[in-house]
Amino acid sequence: MDLIIRRGRLNGKAGLWDIGVERGLIAEVAQKIEAKAPTEIDAAERLMAPTYVNGHVHLDKCNLGDVMRPNKTNSFQECLEITWEHKRTYTVEDIVTRASRAIEEGILNGTTVFRVFADVDTIGGLRPLEGIIALREKWRGIVEIEAVDFPQEAIVRDPGTFELMEEGMRMGADVVGGLPWHEHLDEDARRHIDLCFDLARKYDKDVHMLVDDTDNPNSRSLEYLAVKTMREGFQGRVSASHCGALASYDEVHANKVMALVKQAGVSISTNPHISLVAQGRYDQEPIRRGITRVKQMWRMGVNLFSSQDDVNDPYYPFGRNDQQEVASYVCHSCHMTYPDEIAAVFGFITDNAAKAMRLEGYGLEVGCKADLNVLAAPTIQHVLRLQQPPAWVIKGGKVLATNEVRREIRV
Ligand SMILES: [Zn+2]
């Protein structure tokens, strides 16, 4: 054994457990491992879990919050304009520097897999994607980064974008992005989805779109995405983020769409901390929250996950690339507060996110990659309640980060 973690807890199993690691893989899980290893960690009765997976984060624009001008109109439109101003002058180095700060925060908070969206459009051209591909290469062998070829200004309404996206796939993007609901017309949204699938088929890549990120009950790209997924044989290879409009549909239509999503094996990423600040802006009480139908879809067996989305950028002044914080927001805003619900939400940042990204060797079974956190508390409930970073972050059987939280009451 190269590493043994001793006396930790495993979710759903009684007692204390040791995990033994050999050549980067989990070699043994037992209540007492007799072997010795050069590195041994005392988990001290705290929970051990696979490292977190962040399946949707924009790191080309992250940390612009530190350098951008103030938003004078307090409007979403000005968030866009500020982003455009920076996007015109991004350099690869600038993106890698800002994004690496977010990756470091993510690692300290226990995440070792990031699906990173890069804007591809006629404003910034391919520069943001070049930056995110350079980021992926810089961190290769340390954490896993996927680059998403993402049309942030839509495709049909931004002529030239499709050609840039195709060039982005040739440059080595890992995932085809999409933003169909941002087109002007329903027929354009469908064309947008068709074009993305053309690329996905041609380059044999998975699809991850931002879908119906609006309170508008007439925004209906999710149903088309689900049907298209089935027609193309892409079941299990497609993710949709946000899907807030689903919450505004009447029950009859919502149930039809959710059944299609389930049938198509489309994974849904809900990022409620973002939806809470981005949606409902036209409402004058009661203010809608713009969050998709999390509990209903969870009960139906849809694969739900949750992601950071934004970090300190023109749209969102908060975010520390912390999946525990993200999960806490899901629990609060989606009424997921009973034991089985809290456990399910923990799955949104671990197993379900790994499933959406089709990660291989994810988990704590023998033979899985030794990518695991020794968390700061003994149970999922207390991990999410206390919001303290993992004590140890282990990646490929090596200690990648540690956190020690020192607190003291002086009386
Ligand atoms: Zn996003």
Neighbours of ion ligand 1 (CB under 5 A): 309
80 CA distance to ligand 1 middle (Å) = 13
166-208 per-position pLDDT tens digit: 999 999 999 999 999 999 999 999 999 999 999 999 999 999 9
308 CA distance to ligand 1 middle (Å) = 8
pTM of the model as a whole: 0.98
pLDDT at 321: 98
pLDDT at 145: 98
400 CA distance to ligand 1 middle (Å) = 27
27 CA distance to ligand 1 middle (Å) = 37
Asked whether residue 408 is domain-assigned, the answer is: no
Peptide bond before residue 286 is cis, with ω within 30 degrees of 0: yes
The set of residues, in sequence order, having a beta carbon less than 8 Å from that of 284 and lying 6+ positions away, is none
User: Are 340 and 301 a contacting pair, CB within 8 Å?
Assistant: no
pLDDT at 393: 98
User: Are 191 and 179 a contacting pair, CB within 8 Å?
Assistant: no
Which stretches in the chain have pLDDT values below 70?
A: none
Whole domain around residue 149: which residue ranges?
52-356
313 CA distance to ligand 1 middle (Å) = 11
Looking up residue 17, the CATH number of its domain turns out to be: 2.30.40.10
- My answer on whether 24 and 112 are in the same domain is no
Asked whether residue 120 is domain-assigned, the answer is: yes
C-alpha dist (Å) from residue 162 to 132, 157, 226, 240, 309: 19, 11, 21, 20, 23
Asked whether residue 215 is domain-assigned, the answer is: yes
Instruction: Let me know the angle formed at the C-alpha of 242 by 240 and 245, rounded to the nearest 5 degrees.
Output: 105
209 CA distance to ligand 1 middle (Å) = 9
Domain count, the chain: 2
pLDDT at 306: 98
pLDDT at 121: 98
pLDDT at 239: 98
Tokens 């299609």 belong to 260
pLDDT at 195: 98
- My answer on whether 284 and 391 are in the same domain is no
Parallel, antiparallel or unpaired: strands 47-50 and 398-402: unpaired
